[in-house]
Amino acid sequence: MRNDAKWPNGARSAVILTVDFNDDLGIRTQAPAIEGREKSLSVWRYGAKRGVDRLLATLAEYDVPSSWFVPGQVVRTHRDLVELIDAGGHELGISGDACEDFDTLDLAQQQHAFDRGHAALAEALGRSPAGFRPFTGNWAPGFAAHLHARGITWTSTWHGDDLPYHHHDAPLIELPLHVELEDEPYFAFNLAPPVPVGQSRIASYREVLGNWTRDFEAFHRFGLCFVMRLHPEIIGTAGRIGVLRALLATMRARGDVWFATGAQAASWWRERCNANEPGHPVEIFERHRNTIV
């Protein structure tokens, strides 16, 4: 299937735009020393102030659905924006409660963080969300089963492929990421102090568009699933939103691209492919983990 994948309505490739809306919670987790540095924190608060509106307008212009991940604290502090995203026809998924680093939490703590975030979002939407992405870190053995029990059907956290796949320890579909299809590695920037330490500096908009366009063309050629990871405070600036607009225009010009939410793509993949191919990386990882537990 890898070289001749066919998606709904005869589309050659699939495109899923995902957005992490964390306000300033994520950088507080990454760099606790930033606490109290209001000038620095304002870089990440820009997303709620300007980025969300600008990103939603661009998605509406090109009639592209998207899947947003929000932690519970963002739901509580920016409920108006969460409701605006929902009203635009976009999907909302869980990202813990306060952008927790899952590597620092045991299973019970991970479950608690998820449940708090889940409760906040379900109450705001009036329905249970289907998608999950932790801000950072790996989930503990047994956590995938907890996600399934709470109604989660798909995640977008792992790497290891350019087509969706089944998780080994729960009936969840993974929509895998690629670092080069994210905005943060190119554009994350804070002048003083550099946060995080050793970060790269701002990339050329032309070169980033070139990278993303070449990646899309390759994914389209091979019939793959192009999953982007964006942030409203990064891609949503007045200049950078033009990079996304140009990319979406290129995608739309193809005419045979399926733009889907994560939930739609996961549902279609589950119906189409009921198991991973033999020797898939997730199966190898599970065997390796079982030998060291």
Condensed to tens digits (0 to 9), the pLDDT of residues 147-191 reads 999 999 999 999 989 999 999 889 999 999 999 999 998 988 765
Tokens 């606790």 belong to residue: 32
Q: Do 183 and 230 contact (CB within 8 A), yes or no?
A: yes
What is the reported pLDDT for 82?
Answer: 97
Q: Are 61 and 94 in contact (CB under 8 A)?
A: no
User: Which residue in 69, 84, 251 sits closest to 175, CA to CA?
Assistant: 69
pLDDT at residue 34, rounded to an integer: 79
Convert the pLDDT of each residue in 250-285 to its tens digit: 999 999 999 999 999 999 999 988 888 777 777 666
pLDDT score, position 191: 54
pLDDT for the residue 289: 60
Report the half-sphere exposure of 105 (CA within 13 A, side-chain side). 25
- What is the residue whose two structure tokens read 């943060």? 184
Span 199-224, pLDDT tens digits: 667 899 999 999 999 999 999 999 99
- Looking at the predicted structure, is the pLDDT value of residue 39 above 80? no
Can you give the pTM of this predicted structure?
Answer: 0.91
pLDDT at 24: 81
Q: Would you state the pLDDT for residue 4?
A: 52
Topology of the domain covering 8-292: TIM Barrel (3.20.20)
Question: What integer is the mean pLDDT of 89-114?
Answer: 97
Residue 1 pLDDT level (bands cut at 50, 70, 90): very low
- Share the mean pLDDT of the chain: 91
* More confident of the two residues 193 and 87: 87
Q: Tokens standing for 178? A: 């690629």
Cα separation, 276 vs 110, whole angstroms: 27
Domain boundaries, the chain: 8-292
